[in-house]
Amino acid sequence: MSLQVERMNEKPADEVICAAVGRRSPPLDLWCVDGPEQPPRHITLADYHGQWLALIFYPRDFSFVCPTELTAFSARTADFQNRHCAMLGISVDSLEIHQEWLAAPPDKGGLGPLQFPLASDPEGRLAQGFGVWVPEKMVCLRGLFIIDPTGVLQYSVIHNLNVGRSPDEVLRVLDALQTGGLCPANWTTADGVIDPEGALQPGKVLGHYRIRKQLGSGAFGAVFAAWDLRLERPVAIKVLKRSLVESREAVLTEARAAARLNHPNVCTIYAVEEEEGLPVIVMEHIEGRALTQVIRDGLDAPTALHLAAQIAAGLSVAHQNQVVHGDFKPANVIVSPNGSPKILDFGLSRFLKVQKSRDAEAELAQRTFAVQRLVDLGHAEEALLATVDHHSDSLRGTPAYMSPEQAQGSDPTLASDVFSFGLTLYEMLTGHAAYENRGIVQHLLRLPTADLACELAPKVAPPYRELLAALLAREPARRPSMDQVMRELELIG
């Protein structure tokens, strides 16, 4: 059986995959034994999916240092199990030799029983993949590797043949890895982790970006001016708060959506990365003022029209690519010194989703009626909670620029972007926000049933009234597309 098992373990040289921290582990394809009386069994990395795994490479059975290590780790099995971490010992010895060693008592040169299996890597194929193979001696070094529940290698340490490893240090590192945070030197479970969000100060390096200054912050994170040390160019980096990120993949998907856009009025996304455990969106650094400040400083009608047409062009391209901004507002537009606006912060953008229910409008009408009923009865707090769709975890967007459907918890859509653009256009034309004198709660309660088209359109100059009324239509289907808006602004000009 040993020869057969050893042949099953053999792999062609071109299949060796070198291990690297932060990347998927080389595949496991080994036979192991759990004790002297237990039959051999085949194991792969999939057998450990969903739990941590510590691989303990050692040179030889019946040696001097190896039994001290393995018995020390075995004695701490409960500590590893409490951390949902399995252990696996690996050497070049055959399964028969493993069983002999496990069966022999320590005073006879044996190992005695262990609380974890021993695997056979007779040709050193897996040892080569992990970089611990010594071809001159045909054994492996004392390598210890920790693989996370997703199969990614997170820790690697290699000793020479003479020095054993400490399970206490491995458990300390395992604890640190499982915090998901930044752990300083000599960290223990009694210590706190470094808060990377609070440590982002000028001069600090995040990945390969040196922070220069903070440009702004909000509920979803902070934006910094930085220097790309690799490409040697100025960039802006948006560091998202970990507590507000639904999942790493969701952030990547949203940022990739924005990265598809290529237009002079849309901020270019350079990269989407994770640095020091923080999701980071790297974009072009734009000198200029936020549209909020430009409006506050005063806009004449021709300038407002010129800016609005360019902004509409940028949003139109995004919508043609089925990309929803999701949080459009004046603060998310930067106007360069030459007067060119750029839309940024697609932090809530996502690929346009297909409507899940044919009865969506009926459901929305029913929720609107229920909210209004609660308001009429004086139950304002309950009404606010009722505005959040039970299919949604939270409101998405900035309340002062939300569409009626967003205020009820629906996901942002192309039509909701149009509504938000309408509120922004109103602010550009009048010099003040539509709800600057109303509280957020009051506004959210009122928004689903209010007729903003009738309220706000008469307050702007005649050329814009019909367009603004269409932009602010309560029913999403009645709002024009951004392409139509762009053409209408061109006609007004």
Whole-angstrom distance, CA of residue 126 vs CA of residue 145: 12
User: Are 398 and 421 spatial neighbours (Cβ–Cβ below 8 Å)?
Assistant: no
Question: Which one of 66, 140, 183, 267 is the catalytic residue?
Answer: 66
Element (H, E) at 341: strand 341-343
> Position of tokens 């002999």?
100
C-alpha dihedral (424, 429, 432, 438), degrees to nearest 10: -60
> Position of tokens 């999403």?
476
The answer to whether residue 267 is catalytic is no
Cβ-proximal residues to 82 (8 Å cutoff; 6+ apart), any chain: none
DSSP state of 252: H
Instruction: Name the phi and psi angles at 443, rounded to 5.
Output: -65, -45
The residues facing 404 across adjacent strands are none
User: Are 261 and 316 spatial neighbours (Cβ–Cβ below 8 Å)?
Assistant: no
> Position of tokens 């609380």?
115
User: Are 490 and 311 spatial neighbours (Cβ–Cβ below 8 Å)?
Assistant: no
Whole-angstrom distance, CA of residue 154 vs CA of residue 23: 8
Half-sphere exposure of 405 (CA within 13 A, CB side): 26
Whole-angstrom distance, CA of residue 81 vs CA of residue 57: 19
Cβ-proximal residues to 100 (8 Å cutoff; 6+ apart), any chain: 36, 61, 110
Half-sphere exposure of 448 (CA within 13 A, CB side): 29
Element (H, E) at 492: helix 482-492
C-alpha angle 299/300/304, rounded to 5°?
A: 70
C-alpha angle 235/240/241, rounded to 5°?
A: 145
Whole-angstrom distance, CA of residue 56 vs CA of residue 118: 9
Positions annotated as catalytic residues are 66
